[in-house]
Amino acid sequence: MASYEGLSAQEIEEKKNKQIRKIWLVAGYLAVITAIEFAIAFTSIPKGVKNITFIVLTIVKAFFIVAEFMHLRHEVKMLMYAVVLPMAFVLWLILALLIEADAIFNVLFGG
Amino acid sequence: MATNSIATNSKRGLWGGGAEPLKASYGKLMMWFFLVSDALTFSGFLTAYGMVRYAYPSFDATQPFKFSAEYWPIPEKVFAAAPFITAEAPLVFVGIMTFILILSSVTMVLAVEAGHRGSRVEVEKWMIWTILGGLAFLGCQAWEWIHFIGGTGPESPYLQKGVTYLGASLTQNQYGPPPFADFFFFITGFHGTHVLSGVALNVLIFYNTVMGVYERRGHYEMVEKVGLYWHFVDLVWVFVFTFFYLV
């Protein structure tokens, strides 16, 4: 994160205030998104649309946590890719298992 | 040989040793790679949950909802209780748990930020809040489990082979098909274990900070490394909240 070496007391204070403001801003985003999710759960929007909204909002929240709280956005690009790209395997896993689930459903409940 | 070593020294670049790969210290890098593997583990759990859920019939929304082993339950009907209130409060309690964990993640970043400035008093203060947040979350989860295992009232018994059943175990439960409770115990339990070990690490960091270990070392990088783990625990909960309670 931020290096404080060679900074004057006033510069440190400014940098600190900037950092802390940003932390609370991100915290605010996370709280607001969770509140929105909670509110959407009790509306009469069709289930499919609801679920897609939940998943999109979850990914937005995950982005804020990983990028800002875990500071990944400010790391070297290569480290970022090393962490994020392996998650592509998960997409394949989801697809494969949902296809599998469809087949199981047909066997058990005769689709 | 002498000329050889001189030649390597003069051309010592990224691969010559002594440099931090990816400009991250060894400990931080290893923490990141551990978290990648842990993320894949949790992805496996949640995807398996999705698969089993998708392989069961979903509830016919035109009927009034009733617990049955024939179809997958609607989560907000299962998790509709909160301590101290008798009225139905769907998802309220788990919403509070989510806020607690997000807040303890915020206090953790604040501790990391204080660590960068080398401010011992502030690191101590924010670590205490983080530990309290973690403990509060664990307490909530304990309540949630007790409630889930104990069951909700005699008016919603689960009938299996002519025998009524209240609450949940690994073999049967009143809410839905047996895998529903199995996944609940497995996924929230595995996450809870992560929170527990996270709290233990946070206590260790707090202890070391109080004892002045990091002050003597000259940096508070340990706070940052454990912070990464703690944020990851929060991150996993965000996904568990969505896929177990909302979807």
Is the pLDDT assigned to residue B213 strictly greater than 90?
yes
Based on its alpha-carbon atoms, the radius of gyration of chain B, rounded to whole angstroms, reads 24
| β-strand partners of B159 | B164
B163 vs chain A: nearest CA distance in angstroms?
Answer: 24
Chain A contact present for B30, CB below 8 A: no
Tokens standing for residue A81:
């890719």
Is the pLDDT assigned to residue B114 strictly greater than 50?
yes
pLDDT tens-digit readout, B120-169: 999 999 999 999 999 999 999 999 999 999 887 655 555 555 667 788 88
Set of chain A residues whose Cβ sits within 8 Å of the Cβ of B35: 83
pLDDT tens-digit readout, A55-69: 999 999 999 999 999
Note whether B234 contacts A38, CB cutoff 8 Å.
Answer: no
Is the pLDDT assigned to residue B222 strictly greater than 80?
yes
pTM of the model: 0.89
B236 or A13, higher pLDDT: B236
Q: Measured between CB atoms, which of B33, B51, B109 is closest to A97?
A: B51
Place of tokens 């990851």: B232
Q: What is the dihedral of CA B176, B179, B181, B187, to 10 degrees?
A: -140
Note whether B247 contacts A38, CB cutoff 8 Å.
Answer: no
pLDDT tens-digit readout, A73-109: 999 999 999 999 999 999 999 999 999 999 999 998 8
Domains of chain B, CATH where assigned:
23-246 (1.20.120.80)
CA atoms within 13 A on the CB side of B221: 11
State the pLDDT confidence band at A11, using cuts at 50, 70 and 90. Answer: confident
Q: Can you tell me the mean pLDDT for B174-189?
A: 93
A/B interface, count of CB pairs below 8 Å: 132
pLDDT tens-digit readout, B31-88: 999 999 999 999 999 999 999 999 999 887 777 887 888 889 988 888 888 888 777 7
- Between CA B163 and CA B127 the distance in angstroms is 50
State the pLDDT confidence band at B108, using cuts at 50, 70 and 90. Answer: very high
- The pLDDT assigned to B160 comes to 56
Query: Which chain A residue has the Cα nearest residue B89?
Result: A42
Chain B contact present for A39, CB below 8 A: no
Is the pLDDT assigned to residue A31 strictly greater than 80?
yes
Please name the amino acid found at residue B221.
Answer: E
Note whether B47 contacts A41, CB cutoff 8 Å.
Answer: no
Note whether A93 contacts B246, CB cutoff 8 Å.
Answer: no
- The pLDDT assigned to B8 comes to 47
The ipTM value here is 0.90
- List, as ranges, residues 44-83 from A with C-beta within 8 Å of B: 47, 51, 54-55, 57-58, 61-62, 65-66, 68-70, 75-76, 78-79, 82-83
- The pLDDT assigned to A47 comes to 86
Note whether B76 contacts A41, CB cutoff 8 Å.
Answer: yes
